[in-house]
Chains A and B, each alone.
Chain A
Amino acid sequence: MKKFLKPLEPLLDKGLNTAESFIHTHPKVNFFFGAVFEAFDGLIRNPKETAQSPPFIRHNYDVKRFMGAVLVALVCGWVLPAIYLYGWQCVVPKLIVSFIAGVFIADFLWVIIAREEHIAEGGFVTCLFIPAILPPQAPLWLIGLGAALAIIFRNILGGIGNNIVNPALFSRLFLTICFPAFLVTGYQMPLIGTQVIHTVPQGLDAVTHATPFTAFKTSGEVASYLSLLLGTTTGSLGETCRLALILAGLWLMKVKVANWRVPASYLGSVFVFSVFFSLILGKAVAPPFFQLLSGGLILGAFFMATDPITTTYNQTAKWIFGAGCGFITVLIRDFTTLPEGVMYAILLMNLLAIPIQSLMVKIRYRL
């Protein structure tokens, strides 16, 4: 591969340089395609900026790698297991629609309209989340709408680095409010064979099963822990195979992209509070291990709550952030009629992260 590319490199380099100078000398072309070109160029070429102030050498770890690591973890954590569990006909079209609607339409248009410099690779991460947090039989238009909303919402707030709440979750909240019917149906049993391709766009309503949590709330039935771990129960497309999610999440922590404090405190507090409520209320609330392994908790704790931009910067405050997420999750799950609380918990704590952060800073520096 490398050898094969060698002779092409100078040609490609020259071509890109010519294109670059062409774009910069034609304001009209620059207006429409400048940012798009730069985004593409940025993917395959290292920028030419050099360090102008000390230190004069820099570590070769940039935001692109950071996002790349998240993408890799997400692909291993949910895309591959979901393809195995639900068949590629169910997963691949959703991903394609999500990317097209989110990155190629919403982000590109935004870049042209709002004169942003970058098409941030963070869009890929957000769009990879969207199918994962929607039911396996969600119609494709819902996915597309979700992805576009997430990206637009993130960009309106000022892009990566300024978003206060997780854009993917925010867009799911929006969909939950606008199209509640689609969010409670479409939970298909995995491993029932692949579906015929022409049914993909609408999704199948007929196959709906209750998710483990809804089942627990209606009949008190607790799904087997092994099936929860391996993903052979119902659930959103990307949340069921917890084993893969945990492994991918641990890898992310090892490469220091995800901060271990958040999942540790999140899962820990879910466990502690559910033990606490179980002791008081007995069988009326879900047992602790069932709580840990059901719903979107693992996906949320390892991948969404850890999104560095929407948590606190201070590392001690991360413990509070995670514990707060866990507390709210357990409260919603045990004492409301809602089937799942992870989304609300993370969104709420995202908002609370700002006051927690400033409080921690005040305490730490005695202001």
Chain B
Amino acid sequence: MKKETIGVKGGFHLLDTYPLPFCTIIDEISSDGSPGQFQFPVTSQKVEHVIVNLCPTEPWALPNWVILKHKTATFLNMLKEIRTGYFSDAQFHLAINEKEDKAVEDAMNFAGTEDWIHVFPLCAKYPQDDPVILVQVLLGMDVNFGQDIKSLGILIVDAQTVLAMYEQGIMRKDVNSRYVVLSGTGLRENEIIRVELGTSVEKILKNKIKATGACRVFMNGPLRGNEISDLSQKIDWSVNNIVVLEEKNRKTLFPMFKADELAFTTSLLGELRRCVYCNFCDDICPVALEPALYYHSYIRGEKHKARLYHMEKCIECGLCSFICPSKLELLKMIRACKAPDKHA
């Protein structure tokens, strides 16, 4: 198959903006109880397409080398066995970060001899690996945000899930731990750990948080993830990473000289203003929406109007709020507009 490069319009190079170096030594942490088990992804629906996402676009997500260990061919052979064992007539689509030349080349060579696998080298711009965009770019199908893509016969798995499927489904081993990435300005250092499922966040972060200053903990990244205030929460298979950010809730002198100090903290990095129509939000929106229209409808109290502007296409990637120089809470407004009116 010929090498294709598809990038989303809009989007943002998070990987370049927040480079996070990781230590290659991987610690292990065990839970103090019986660990949970990996659930093999089975659906009632017949699986027609399996999308293997080897294109993480967020710097705090698990990088490919942890799983692939620079041996892409081995990984692809695992994939083949999984296919033979479970999804015998499904097509496999491999999304790989185009910058990882070696992996792309290996995958291309492999795909040259097999007809069930298709390789797509992609630009690792956030949110390229969003399910909606992956399905659109790889399969040419339009799905909506929040739609159940499993019911369409599509399964999206990441590298770690493939490994777990192989170990559990083919090797018949128990999979009860997973890799979790710890990063952020609130931690002493960025690291990758292997934890048993069911370990509490508190235990993982023990002795890792910087002693000075306040910080906040986010699961699955500060852009798409959730803030967790209750640290006794347990790790399950869906937790890819934990990000701990410094809470800069005091004023900082001369912010223009302190970009490094303020970056990757929870600071808004500016004052809340009125929309200045700068077009940053629609330039960055990966699905070409115009978020400022939602803002204007929202502040006028016309939520029903906001929904007319193709709001259902929004994949809630959060980039519009991220970039807005007036620091408007666009994503929050979008979610508020999407929610049905109470009295209507």
Contact = CB atoms under 8 A, between A and B. Distances in A.
Nearest to A49: B268
A147 B62 CA distance: 55
A58 B327 contact: yes
Contacts of B225: 54
A54 B224 contact: yes
A76 to B, nearest CB: 19
B337 to A, nearest CB: 14
Nearest to B184: A57
Contacts of B255: 45-46, 60
B22 interface: no
Interface string B257-292: 111001111111111111111111011000000101
Contacts of B318: 54-55
A46 B325 contact: no
Interface string B164-185: 0000000000000000000000
B308 A56 contact: no
B215 to A, nearest CB: 11
Contacts of B266: 50-51, 56-57
A63 B245 contact: no
Nearest to A60: B269
A160 B273 contact: yes
Nearest to B275: A161
A313 B277 CA distance: 6
Most buried by B among A41, A53, A57: A57
Interface residues of B, number: 61
Interface in B313-344: 318-319, 321-327, 329, 331-332
Contacts of B222: 54-57
Nearest to A66: B325
A44 B18 CA distance: 25
A55 B331 contact: yes
B245 to A, nearest CB: 7
Interface in B212-244: 216, 218, 222-227
Interface in A109-162: 118, 120, 159-162
Contacts of B258: 46
A254 interface: no
A339 interface: no
A233 interface: no
B77 interface: no
A313 B293 contact: yes
A314 B327 CA distance: 20
A63 B273 contact: yes
Given A50-B268, A161-B273, A365-B309, A56 B218 contact: yes
Nearest to A20: B251
Most buried by B among A41, A47, A54, A313: A54
A361 B272 CA distance: 26
B253 A12 contact: yes
B250 interface: yes
A57 B262 contact: no
A313 B309 CA distance: 14
Contacts of A159: 274
A308 B279 contact: yes
B247 interface: yes
Given A5-B254, A55-B223, 11 more contacts: A9-B254, A13-B251, A46-B267, A47-B271, A49-B268, A53-B321, A56-B216, A58-B327, A62-B271, A62-B327, A365-B310
